[in-house]
Amino acid sequence: MTRGRFEGQVGIVTGGGSGIGRATSIGFAQDGGRVVICELDPDRAAETLALIGAVSPQECRSVVGDLTTAETADALVQAADELGGADVLVNCAGFGGGRAAYDSFDPELWSRIFAVNVDGPFQLIGRVIKQMAERGKGAIVNVASAAGLVGEPGIYGYSASKAAIVNLTRALALFYANQGVRVNCVCPGVTDTNFLSNVRAAPDADQLFARYAEMMPIGRLAQPEEIAAAILFLASDAASFCVGSVLAVDGGWTAQ
Ligand X SMILES: NC(=O)c1ccc[n+]([C@@H]2O[C@H](COP(=O)([O-])OP(=O)(O)OC[C@H]3O[C@@H](n4cnc5c(N)ncnc54)[C@H](O)[C@@H]3O)[C@@H](O)[C@H]2O)c1
Site residues, ligand X (CB under 6 A): 14-15, 17-21, 38-41, 44, 66-68, 92-95, 116, 143, 145, 188, 190-191, 193-196, 224
- 148 vs 178 by CB, closer to ligand X: 148
How many of the other CB atoms lie within 10 Å of CB of 108? 8
89: Cβ contacts below 8 Å, ≥ 6 apart: 11, 12, 124, 125, 128, 138, 139, 140, 141
CB of 135 to ligand X, least distance (A): 26
CB of 50 to ligand X, least distance (A): 15
- 10 vs 165 by CB, closer to ligand X: 165
Beta strands in 92-223 (DSSP E): 138-143, 181-188
The torsion angle over the Cα atoms of residues 221, 226, 231 and 235, rounded to 10 degrees, is -170
- 7 vs 214 by CB, closer to ligand X: 214
Which amino acid is it at 193? Answer: T
- 169 vs 191 by CB, closer to ligand X: 191
CB of 48 to ligand X, least distance (A): 9
Calpha distance 152→167 (Å, rounded): 17
Calpha distance 16→21 (Å, rounded): 4
CB of 189 to ligand X, least distance (A): 6
DSSP SS3 for 157: helix
- 149 vs 173 by CB, closer to ligand X: 149
Contact 89, 124 (CB under 8 A): yes
Output DSSP code: residue 220.
S
212 is catalytic: no
Q: Phi and psi (nearest 5°) for 153?
A: -60, 130
CB of 152 to ligand X, least distance (A): 10
The torsion angle over the Cα atoms of residues 12, 15, 19 and 23, rounded to 10 degrees, is 10
Q: Which residue is nearest to ligand X (CB)?
A: 94
Contact 63, 15 (CB under 8 A): no
Catalytic residue list: 158
